[in-house]
Amino acid sequence: MSLDSISLVDYDHLDGPDVLAVRELLEDVTEADGIRPISEHVWLHLTHGGDDRAIHVLARSADGALVGYAHLDITDEVEGPSGELTVHPDHRRRGIGRELVQRLLALSHGRLRLWAHGEHTAATRLADTLGFTRHRTLWQMRRSLHSALADPKPPPGIKLRPFRVGIDEEAFLSINARAFADLPDQGSWTLEDVRRRELEDWFDPAGFLLAWSSDGGTESTGTESLAGFHWTKVHGASDHDDHSHAAIGEVYVLALDPKWRGTGLGRCLTLAGLHHLRKMGLGQVMLYVDAANVSAIRLYEGLGFMRWDTDVMYRSGGY
């Protein structure tokens, strides 16, 4: 199949058949590469046909088969658009990936942040040849849940309780915004973002642990204030999941109110979540952390996590 036979079409929303085709493409890529080629928030939006401020680029062969997909998120007016893309394993090394990147560059007027999930040589080479530079790096870290786990020891005045749907969302969002003020992808979550995750098959409030302080405060319930949280997640446990690997736990989101940093609460919450995942019968747990977050990496390494894989964000020459 020649590149001339490939057509690229842009959509601001996908209908049911196109959503199904993209999901099947992503599942084929995940099965072949061992890693999903798009981030979770894109996957969640895609499930519902896409959000209002995104562009989907579908690459099709002459017979109409979907051979590539790219997503352009245009919500961040400060940092600029961010893109992710993938090509079906049977149609690689034919220039389709380059065409998708060039389409994203045209749509973003040359100012593009591009994610590569997994530090693959082909992605690095493509970014280099198109003038992109490495901007941000995320580590995936893992540890066994069969090895020893210390007991969580909350600081004085702290009690851990599971998340209450319909009650704790606003308190969570306030802490989340302050804790991730420098990471808008996470810190800009809205109530709709939380609600969307609550509807997912993997959502389990029992594994969403909140640390409440008896000191009171702005995000309070009675005389308590929210000091931090550890939201865990399980991959591959649902009958609806198409995974070829055993179920694995995840330290999905972990954060503290800034005033609680350095108190040992982060270690306590991490351990509490790990114990919860182990009680579910899981043997392994993973997490993602920014490579520049030295203090978090030190915490996780102290708890037995080791670097497993790397995601890289590249920036175009338009910055």
**Which residue intervals of 50-204 are DSSP H helices?**
96-107, 121-129, 169-179, 184-187, 191-198
Task: Please indicate, yes or no, whether residues 172 and 275 belong to a single structural domain of this protein.
Answer: yes
Judged on CB neighbours under 10 Å (0-12, 13-18, 19+), 239 is: exposed
Task: Please indicate, yes or no, whether residues 54 and 115 belong to a single structural domain of this protein.
Answer: yes
Task: Please indicate, yes or no, whether residues 212 and 179 belong to a single structural domain of this protein.
Answer: yes
Predicted confidence (pLDDT) per residue in 237-289, tens digit: 654 444 445 789 999 999 999 999 999 999 999 999 999 999 999 999 999 99
Count of all residues that appear for the chain in the document: 319
pLDDT on residue 239: 44
pLDDT on residue 240: 44
Task: Please indicate, yes or no, whether residues 231 and 250 belong to a single structural domain of this protein.
Answer: yes
Does residue 91 fall inside a structural domain?
A: yes
HSE (side-chain half, CA atoms, 13 Å) at 178? 17
Does residue 151 fall inside a structural domain?
A: yes
Does residue 244 fall inside a structural domain?
A: yes
Neighbours of 48 (CB within 10 A): 12
Please give the structure tokens belonging to residue 56.
């989907």
Judged on CB neighbours under 10 Å (0-12, 13-18, 19+), 306 is: exposed
Assign 182 to helix, strand or coil: coil
- Confidence grade of residue 163 (pLDDT, cut at 50, 70, 90): very high
In this prediction, what percent of the chain has a pLDDT beyond 70?
92
Q: Which of 98, 89, 100 is nearest to 33 (CA)?
A: 89
Task: Please indicate, yes or no, whether residues 129 and 193 belong to a single structural domain of this protein.
Answer: no
Task: Please indicate, yes or no, whether residues 131 and 243 belong to a single structural domain of this protein.
Answer: no
Of the three residues 116, 139, 162, the one that is the final residue of a domain is 139
Please give the structure tokens belonging to residue 115.
């994610």
Task: Please indicate, yes or no, whether residues 104 and 207 belong to a single structural domain of this protein.
Answer: no
Q: Is the pTM of this model over 0.85?
A: no
Contacts of residue 101, Cβ cutoff 8 Å, sequence gap at least 6: 70, 83, 85, 114, 126, 130
d(CA 248, CA 146): 12
Distances in whole angstroms, Cα of residue 250 to Cα of each of 3, 216, 247, 288, 314:
40, 30, 10, 9, 25
Of the three residues 139, 166, 188, the one that is the final residue of a domain is 139
pLDDT on residue 178: 95
Task: Please indicate, yes or no, whether residues 110 and 170 belong to a single structural domain of this protein.
Answer: no
Predicted confidence (pLDDT) per residue in 222-250, tens digit: 578 999 999 999 987 654 444 445 789 99
> What is the rounded radius of gyration, in angstroms, for the C-alpha atoms of the chain?
21
Domain that holds residue 78: 3-139
Contact 266, 299 (CB under 8 A): yes
Angle at CA of residue 200, ends 198 and 205, nearest 5°: 45
One-letter amino acid identity for 197?
Answer: R
Does residue 51 fall inside a structural domain?
A: yes
When divided into structural domains, the chain yields a total of: 2
Contacts of residue 16, Cβ cutoff 8 Å, sequence gap at least 6: 49
Does residue 300 fall inside a structural domain?
A: no
Whether residue 104 is predicted with pLDDT greater than 70 in this model: the reply is yes
Task: Please indicate, yes or no, whether residues 123 and 162 belong to a single structural domain of this protein.
Answer: no
Q: What is the CATH number of the domain that holds 248?
A: 3.40.630.30
Neighbours of 87 (CB within 10 A): 24
